[in-house]
Amino acid sequence: MSEHDADVVVVGAGLAGLTAARDIEAQGRSVVVLEARDRVGGRTLNHPIAGTEHVVEIGGQWVGPTQDRMIALARELGVTTYPTYGAGDNLVDWDGRHIRYRGSIPKINAAVLLDVGQAQARLERLAKKVDPQAPWAAAKAREWDSITFDTWIRRNTVTKGAATLLEIAIQAVWAAEPADVSLLHVLFYTASAGSFEKLIGTEGGAQQDRFHGGSQLVSLRLAERLRGPIVLEAPVRRIEQDDAGVRVSADGHVVSARAVIVALPPTLTARIDWSPAMPAQRDQLIQRTAQGTVAKCMAVYDTPFWRAEGLSGQALSVQGPTRVMFDNSPPDGSRGVLLGFLEGRAARDMGEWEPEARRRAVVDGFARVFGPRAGQPIEYIEQRWADEIYTRGCYGCYLPPGAWTAHGQWLRRPIGRVIWAGSEYATVWSGYMDGAVRSGEQAALDVAPLL
């Protein structure tokens, strides 16, 4: 058992934990970071493209306008961005028809476009009435937290097409189904991003840019620059606190410190043995925070052949199984990479399949949209985050009906010498890398008075 002492112990070496550690060191304090995995980066993870110097990300990858803290951090660390490939036409695979379009809304038919347009406008208006720092305080919070987003869709659309487009948007943003999430949660999250348009958009939205070298590079460089140790393969089992400090026990390591920043997905925080026990309200909140379900699937080709056909590689498919697709080729186009997401129900159901059957279904889906060449990739890469015991679901957590209004005030509340960090705790860009960075910065500020 190795013993450590520090001013602060940080649990989790993802973007939030590492950002917090960096800022605490900048305050002149000492930090020990405990990380369960054998690597840093949390839900950001680079993966090599075979036979190249390039990587694709099998975790979070994009950054967009107003994600200022992630952009600033990357710039400071010398990690540069380039635009998500978007030249040419997007495609929608709609009941067997292939329609080309530009922008974020496919040109299906006028009635559907009008319908989804008015629904989205209504959603944007409602989101403006929710303060992401206190969703429970909205005037109609109880009403909005009493219905599922599925109920809201049925009340606010008249065409099946508009309902389908909203369903795909929910799956794409939350990796969950419209029935899973409360309307209030959708409004909170939309408000934290600034608008629904920003959530779903590529150019001008959250999918606008990519990082040279892969998003995990930000965490890798943060880790290099820390003075204090990052102890890998040290899953934390128990956290004790008293008036003087904390004692954090991981496999093989014990750290004593004045305070602890726990930078884990909320659901995992209940799996730590706490002394004293967490308050009932916090524990019951965590019983109601669920991580989304997503498989990130990529097929690699010799070239991005669709570009020659005037296609951007961005596509929507009602049939799926990956309903949202992107060109995820390396910046020099030396390989072609199609990226598709299995999200919500598709990820849950197909998560039980044999890997080869799932690969076949995903690649067949690519081929249906992009033609037979897409059916013959030279490599297939897939990541299912619900299988990862130190994450247990992506992109982030969502709250079902009733939870924000009953327990939400406990989400970010420190418990004595325990401060929370992680993208789920952010009030700006919750669920995104930018939110993770912001939550880490906030945690470093919040911990200072405890030192």
Rounded least distance, CB 223 to its own copies, Å: 25
Q: Give CA angle at 264 (348, 396), nearest 5°.
A: 40
Please give the residue ranges that form the binding site for its own copies (CB under 8 A): 142, 145-148, 150-151, 176-180, 182, 237, 267, 270-271, 273, 277, 280-281, 283-284, 287-291, 293, 344-345, 348, 351-352, 384, 386-387, 389, 392-393, 400-403, 405-407
Nearer to its own copies among residue 178 and residue 194 (C-beta): 178
Rounded least distance, CB 78 to its own copies, Å: 36
| CA separation, residue 208 to residues 28, 29, 81, 395, 411 (Å) | 36, 36, 10, 17, 30
Rounded least distance, CB 47 to its own copies, Å: 19
Partners of residue 195 on adjacent β-strands: none
Strands 2-5 and 253-257: parallel
Rounded least distance, CB 276 to its own copies, Å: 9
Rounded least distance, CB 344 to its own copies, Å: 8
Nearer to its own copies among residue 23 and residue 145 (C-beta): 145
Nearer to its own copies among residue 98 and residue 140 (C-beta): 140
Dihedrals φ, ψ of 277, to 5°? -60, 150
Partners of residue 260 on adjacent β-strands: 9, 418
Nearer to its own copies among residue 305 and residue 390 (C-beta): 390
Nearer to its own copies among residue 178 and residue 205 (C-beta): 178
Q: Give residue for tokens 């849950």.
A: 348
Rounded to whole angstroms, the Cα distance separating 388 from 385 reads 5
**What single string gives the DSSP state of each residue in 183-208?**
HHHHHHHHHHHS-HHHHH-STTSTTS
Of 260, 97, 99, 290, which Cα lies nearest the Cα of 177? 290
Nearer to its own copies among residue 229 and residue 402 (C-beta): 402
Q: Give CA angle at 169 (363, 44), nearest 5°.
A: 65
Partners of residue 350 on adjacent β-strands: none
For residue 60, what are its two tokens?
A: 């979070």
H or E segment at 89? strand 89-94
Rounded least distance, CB 288 to its own copies, Å: 5
Rounded least distance, CB 266 to its own copies, Å: 10
Nearer to its own copies among residue 142 and residue 359 (C-beta): 142
> Over the Cα atoms of the chain, what is R_g?
22
Rounded least distance, CB 182 to its own copies, Å: 8
Secondary structure E strands in 120-234: 209-211, 230-231
Nearer to its own copies among residue 224 and residue 273 (C-beta): 273
